[in-house]
Chains A and B, each alone.
Chain A
Amino acid sequence: MSISIDEVRHVAKLARLDLEESEILSFQSELNALLGHFADIQSVDVSGIEPVSHAVSLQNVWADDQIWESLPRDRALRNASLSRAGLFVVPQIIED
Chain B
Amino acid sequence: MTAADLAGRIARREISCVEAAQESLDAIGERDGALGCFLALDPESTIAQAKAAQHLIDKGQGGSLTGVPIALKDNLSTDALETTCASKILKGYVPPFDATVVGKLKLAGLPILGKTNMDEFAMGTSTETSAFQLTRNPLDPERSPGGSSGGSAAAVAGLLAPLSLGSDTGGSIRQPASFCGIVGFKPTYGRCSRYGLIAFASSLDQVGPFGQTVEDAALLAEIITGHDSLDSTSLNAPPISARDLKSGSLRGLKIALPKELFNDALHPGVRQAIDDAIRVLTSEGVEFHSVSIPAIAVGVTTYYLIAPAEASSNLARFDGIRYGSRSDGEGHIGMVERTRAEGFGHEVKSRIMMGTYALSAGYYDAFYLKASQVRAKMTDEFDQVFTSCDAVLSPTSPVPAFKLGELIGDPLALKLLDYCTIPANLGGFPAISLNCGFTEGLPVGLQIMAPALHDERLLQIAYSVEQAL
Say if the beta carbon of A55 comes within 8 Å of chain B. yes
- In the complex, whether B297 has a CB less than 8 A from a CB of chain A is yes
B203 touches which of A42, A54, A91 (Cβ 8 Å): A54
Q: Does A84 contact B (CB under 8 A)?
A: no
The A77-96 residues at the B interface (CB cut-off 8 A) are: 78-82, 88, 90-93
* One of B94, B304, B325, B426 near A34 (C-beta < 8 A): B304
Total number of A residues with any Cβ neighbor in B under 8 Å: 52
B407 to chain A, nearest CB (A): 14
Within the complex, the shortest CB–CB distance from A48 to chain B, in Å, comes to 9
Contacts of A17 in B (CB 8 A): 337, 340-341, 344, 349, 352-353
**Contact stretch, chosen from B116-124, B177-185, B208-216, B314-322:** B314-322
- A18 to B374, Cβ gap below 8 A? no
For chain B, residues 354 to 369, give those with C-beta under 8 angstroms from any C-beta of chain A: 354, 356-357, 360, 366-367, 369
Residues of A within 8 A of B377 (CB): 44, 46, 49
Query: Which of B304, B321, B376 contacts A80 (CB under 8 A)?
Result: B321
Cross-chain contact A38 with B301 (CB below 8 angstroms): yes
Q: Indicate if the CB atoms of B373 and A51 lie closer than 8 Å.
A: yes
CA distance A23 to B415 in the complex (A): 20
Residue of B nearest to A50 (CB): B376
> Which of these, A23, A31, A41, A81, contacts B357 with CB under 8 Å?
A31
| Cβ-based interface call for B445 (8 A) | no
| Number of residues of chain B lying within 8 A (CB) of chain A | 75
Contact B349 A56 (CB under 8 A): no
Assembly CA distance A51 to B411 (angstroms): 28
Chain B, range 209-266, C-beta contacts under 8 Å to A = 229, 232-233, 235
8 further interface pairs, Cβ-Cβ under 8 Å (given A38-B301, A58-B232, A79-B323):
A15-B340, A18-B329, A34-B415, A37-B416, A40-B298, A49-B373, A53-B372, A63-B232
Give the chain A neighbours of B373 by CB distance below 8 A.
Answer: 46, 49-51
Residue in A closest to B331 when the chains form the complex, CB atoms: A91
- The answer, among A7, A14, A18, for a CB contact under 8 Å with B334, is A18
What are 30 pairs between A and B in contact, CB < 8 Å? Answer: A1-B366, A7-B357, A14-B360, A16-B316, A16-B319, A17-B341, A17-B352, A19-B341, A37-B412, A41-B298, A41-B302, A41-B371, A44-B295, A46-B374, A49-B373, A51-B369, A51-B376, A52-B375, A52-B376, A55-B189, A55-B203, A55-B204, A58-B235, A61-B232, A79-B96, A79-B323, A79-B324, A81-B324, A88-B321, A91-B331
Residue among A12, A30, A93 making CB contact with B411, cutoff 8 Å: A30
Q: How far is the CB of A26 from chain B (nearest CB, A)?
A: 8
Q: Is the CB of A31 within 8 A of B203?
A: no
Q: Output the nearest chain A residue to B297 by Cβ-Cβ distance.
A: A40
Partner pick for A15 among B93, B323, B356, CB 8 A cutoff: B356
The answer to whether the Cβ of A33 comes within 8 Å of any Cβ in the partner chain is yes
Determine whether the beta carbon of A75 is less than 8 Å from that of B336. no
Q: Which residues of A contact B302 (CB under 8 A)?
A: 41
Please tell me if B57 contacts chain A, counting CB pairs below 8 Å: no
A18 near B322 with CB under 8 A, answer no
Bound CA span A46–B325, Å: 43
Partner of B332, one of A42, A61, A64, A93: A93
